[in-house]
Structure 1
């Protein structure tokens, strides 16, 4: 085989892998959202540098937990989970500087307190309303004074 035939074979294999990866992402997204309750949710994974460390993802409410999945991963398992009774809403702000390019358009950055420390998430205004309702809708018998 000539060198250009090898090059065409490598390019074809690479293109096939890209198409399979894209199809896998679509199938995964459909499977995760088939029961509803999913929304675009970014998570600030690394907090060392200001305005940096954001990872795009999607969130899903699963009973008493909020699950966060990376967008470009094929894993069916959530990368992070937060229990409802461990999260405390601490405020919101507009994305600043480099955050505007890192996040979905029209998303707000929200700040929550958890036992592990500060959790920063970014979501749309309508998702924020649902998130706040989910946080406040704890089951009967919840000790509201424990915080």
Structure 2
């Protein structure tokens, strides 16, 4: 029986690394380093509706001094141009334009769209056109640095 020297060497090197991973104790997170705000509903524009059991919501979460915007939920729409879909609630206005990518209906090989939040709090979806309308957008993957 013949053995490839590379596979034997890789196996020999993997044993100590695996042993270290199995016996290492994970570092504990410092208490108080995560601050998650409650989920807040987005204010949807006319013609944009929340999908069943998937109300579009956002929240801010701060981890080790960096604040992120998280979104969840999904909308149904018929966007044939770059369109404002919602407004951020209350005082949640970014200090600069914030962008993220969100899944959308797969049409002509395009399955994502750009989601942008302006400094006025307008939430806009980019990428729809008459030949390739955006009919739904899923927001669960939207996470971006807020400030």
Q: TM-score, normalised by structure 2?
A: 0.24
Q: TM-score, normalised by structure 1?
A: 0.24
- Structure with the bigger percentage of strand: 2
Pick 1 or 2: higher relative contact order, CA cutoff 8 A, min separation 6.
2
Bigger Rg, structure 1 or 2: 2
- Structure with the bigger percentage of helix: 1
